[in-house]
Amino acid sequence: MSRLLSIFMIGLGTYYAYHNRYRLINVIFGNVFLRKLLVTSVMSFPLVRDRMMSSVFSSGPPEGRQS
């Protein structure tokens, strides 16, 4: 019985989080501490960090400008 209640509560929490996902994202990015924690944790993944750095510091000519 307890296991069934746990599964139901997890499902209900998931539904609530999905239904209010944009509000939750605004809360996370609105809080300085949570924003720093999220960015630090995402940037700790080498694949994400390498892609981000290569797109920010590209060695090619700037897009949209014509010489």
Residue with tokens 């069934």: 4
Question: Looking at the predicted structure, is the pLDDT value of residue 67 above 60?
Answer: no
For residue 7, give Cα distances in angstroms to 17, 18, 33, 60: 15, 16, 31, 51
pLDDT digits (tens, 9 = 90+) for 6-64: 999 999 999 999 999 999 889 888 989 988 998 899 889 999 888 888 888 876 666 65
The pTM of the full predicted model, rounded to 2 decimals, is 0.50
**Predicted pLDDT at 5:** 94
> What single string gives the DSSP state of each residue in 11-29?
HHHHHHHHHTHHHHHHHHH
**Predicted pLDDT at 4:** 93
**Rounded Cα distance, 54 and 23, in Å:** 31
**Rounded Cα distance, 41 and 33, in Å:** 12
